[in-house]
Chain A
């Protein structure tokens, strides 16, 4: 059952796959610091709470409809990764609301959940269970995943014997095997060797074509202009601009160039 209001167009596909309204994510600096009881006691004694808050994202609103791929760009520490983590449901919003319509898969960092001691095959089952994929489904897709990852007989060896390229390939293969409606990507496209890079690019394009929504976070402006049909620039946790990829990329480059120059100029 959905609680959202009826769509204006009447055609379900045009309703936003991702609807973000007034999203804010606040980090408590007191908590994020590596804590020990000693620090906490010291903070209690000082009564200053140990340094307040910091908003990684604030007042972020946007939506992505099915078939759209949104590129998110911005300088380091702008809140891009926090945005993806919030969309994936990993970080809960401090304020605002996120509505996701459809099945979501995130490719944040590949192979994060791999258990070094287990074999590739065992890790596929485990990763599938972590991602919440039905066990029967992952069993059915097992052979496809193994075939796409293309790591040969290593699939039954422990992950700790894998090269980082093999690990990334397996991770990519698992994450894209689920046929998601919404795909979140974070700088993962440049993994593996040339051949696999081409293959993964193809898979991403294929997923994008299948009326799926994509949110891509990257520093590679080439990807944004080539594969996204919309782009968003965020700085200091706020949306600065949103629009045509080429335009947004130009704006981003102009702004970072300006920042570089003002940083170099003596006396600001």
Chain B
């Protein structure tokens, strides 16, 4: 009676799972992190689609908000800066829209990533799964919203600024890739830290707002030069900031219709990859304690 039963089922012996107090070293942890994400790609896919479904529900316009939101935000800043402060650039709507769109992706992805682990406390205490999928899914979901943002961008270009259309627009995904790596690095780190320090969530909202104003989103090089005259260190901070290169990159390809500053973008990519390695290591290092702390 044994052989058939043994053939029809995988032999349990092949799947001995051991858990011990011994943890792998830094390189081992990175390998585990990579296999976590790869082996659970289906789970990530479900989490992303669940996230998008939820964001579309419960509002009258549903996913139309992904298109309206950046447009309305742009309108607010156009009124504020070009009418009230009277300091705008040519074609100011497009000038800031090229920055608002990626920034919205970044800030909402970071906000969602921060809560992604601590918000799933019940699940983490009940089911064993690689927690890394949570911030990764939260950040990837933002890409879809960003992609939807291409619709109003296209409309803006075609209807209002047809002479700004150029082949450089095809470089948007390249800049977006650099941004994605940086966002993953920061989001994964922040998600892990927020498990231990819930202050991160509160702090992040203000930090992100300040970061936005210290990035060349609403203003360009002229304003930074002006700041450098009076506040040298702030001007330096603006330039060291990864979003200086990233937003300028978007602006080059969307607004100026030229290639981005490859050197600046490449350096941000290099730093982001190193940062991502550190974040992944840190996340995997503290992951075993999540179930105890939450």
Which residue numbers of A lie inside 8 Å of B, CB to CB? 1-4, 12, 15, 17, 24, 27-28, 31-32, 34-38, 40, 66, 85-86, 88-104, 106, 108-109, 112-113, 115, 117-118, 122, 125-126, 129-132, 135, 181
Q: Which residue of B lies closest to A113 (CB)?
A: B123
User: How far in angstroms is the closest Cβ of chain B from A94?
Assistant: 6
A96, A101, A108, A130: the one contacting B21 at CB < 8 Å is: A96
- Partner of B18 from the list A15, A38, A98, A109 (CB cut-off 8 Å) is A98
Whether a CB of chain A sits under 8 angstroms from the CB of B27 is no
Residues in A neighbouring B291, C-beta threshold 8 A? 85, 90-91
Residues of A within 8 A of B82 (CB): none
Across the interface, do A131 and B129 meet the contact criterion of CB distance under 8 Å?
yes
B76 interfacial contact with A, CB 8 Å:
no
Q: Is the interface of B mostly helix, strand, loop or mixed?
A: helix
Min distance, Cβ A131 to any Cβ of chain B, angstroms: 6
Cβ–Cβ contact A93 & B19, under 8 A: yes
Q: Which of B43-51, B146-154, B220-228, B263-271 contacts A (4 or more CB under 8 A)?
A: B43-51
Taking Cβ atoms with an 8 Å cutoff, the residues of B that contact A are 11-21, 23, 40, 42-43, 46-47, 50, 53-54, 57, 120, 122-129, 196-199, 288-289, 291-293
A3 touches B16 (CB 8 A): yes
A135 to chain B, nearest CB (A): 5
Expressed in whole angstroms, the minimum distance between the Cβ of B92 and any Cβ of chain A is 38
Contact B42 A129 (CB under 8 A): yes
Once bound together, how far apart are the Cα atoms of A1 and B17, in whole Å? 11
A89 touches B128 (CB 8 A): yes
**What residues of B have a CB within 8 angstroms of the CB of A17 in the complex?**
12
Q: Which residues of A contact B120 (CB under 8 A)?
A: 113
Find out whether the CB atom of A112 lies under 8 angstroms from the CB atom of B46. no
Q: Are A97 and B20 in contact (CB under 8 A)?
A: yes
**B288 & A92 in contact (Cβ 8 Å cutoff):** yes
Question: What residues on B are CB-neighbors of A93 within 8 Å?
Answer: 19-21
The residue among B120, B123, B198 with the most chain A CB atoms within 10 A of its own CB is B123
Which residues on the B side are within 8 Å of A31 (C-beta)? 196, 289, 292-293
CB distance from A30 to the nearest CB of B (A): 10
Asked if residues B15 and A101 are in contact (CB atoms below 8 Å), the reply is yes
Closest Cβ of chain B: how far from A97's Cβ, in Å?
5
List of B residues within 8 angstroms of A113 by Cβ: 120, 122-123, 126-127
Q: Which residues does chain A contribute within 8 Å of B127, judged by CB atoms?
A: 88, 90, 106, 108, 112-113, 130-131
Q: Chain A residues near B199 (CB, 8 Å)?
A: 36-38
Question: Which B-chain residue is minimally distant from A82 (CB atoms)?
Answer: B292
Q: How far is it, in angstroms, between the C-alpha of A8 and the C-alpha of B181 when the chains are bound?
A: 52
Contacts of B126 in A (CB 8 A): 90, 106, 108-109, 112-113
- Find chain B residues with CB under 8 A from A91 CB: 288, 291-292
Q: Which residue of A lies closest to B18 (CB)?
A: A99
A2 touching B197, Cβ below 8 Å: no
Q: Determine the residue in chain A with the shortest Cβ distance to B47.
A: A126
Among B21, B42, B196, B288, the residue within 8 A (CB) of A135 is B42
Besides A103-B15, A106-B127, A117-B54, 13 new A-B residue pairs in contact (Cβ under 8 A), listed by A number: A15-B13, A35-B196, A85-B125, A90-B125, A98-B18, A100-B17, A102-B12, A104-B17, A109-B122, A118-B53, A129-B43, A130-B127, A135-B42
Q: For the complex, give the distance between the alpha carbons of A91 and B46 in Å.
A: 25
Measured in the bound complex, the distance between the Cα atoms of B122 and A28 in whole Å is 20
Docked Cα-Cα span, A40 to B47, in Å, equals 33
Minimal beta-carbon separation of A44 from chain B (angstroms): 13
Q: Given A35-B198, A37-B199, check contact A115 B50 (CB 8 Å).
A: yes
Cα distance, A82 to B12, chains bound together (Å): 25
Looking across the interface, which residue of chain A has its beta carbon closest to that of B125? A90
User: How many Å lie between the Cα of A91 and that of B127 in the bound state?
Assistant: 10
In contact, B292 and A32 (Cβ under 8 angstroms):
yes
Determine if A35 and B123 form an interchain contact, defined as CB atoms under 8 angstroms apart: no
* One of A28, A36, A89 near B197 (C-beta < 8 A): A36
| A153 CB to nearest B CB, Å | 19
- Provide the residues of chain A in CB contact with B124, threshold 8 Å: 90
Q: Is the CB of B21 within 8 A of A94?
A: yes
Are A96 and B50 touching (Cβ within 8 A)? no
- Complex-state Cα separation, A122 to B198, whole angstroms: 30
Report B-chain residues with C-beta under 8 Å of the C-beta of A15.
13
A103 to B13, CA, bound (A): 10
Q: Which A residues lie within 8 Å of B23 (CB)?
A: 92
Evaluate contact between B198 and A36: CB separation under 8 angstroms.
yes
CB atoms of B12 and A32 under 8 A apart: no
A35 to B200, CA, bound (A): 11
Identify A129's interface contact among B17, B19, B46, B292, CB under 8 A: B46
Residues of B near A112 (CB, < 8 A) are 122-123, 125-127
- B229 to chain A: closest CB distance in Å? 36
What is the minimal beta-carbon distance from A87 to any residue of chain B, in angstroms? 9
Shortest distance between the CB of A118 and any CB in chain B (Å) = 6
**The one of A2, A28, A108 that contacts B14, using a Cβ cutoff of 8 Å:** A2
Structural contact, A89 and B13, CB atoms closer than 8 A = no
A236 to B145, CA, bound (A): 51
Question: Given the complex of chains A and B, what is the CA–CA distance between A103 and B11 in angstroms?
Answer: 10
B212 to chain A, nearest CB (A): 23
Pairs A-B, 6 closest by C-beta atoms: A129-B43, A102-B12, A89-B128, A92-B288, A112-B126, A113-B123
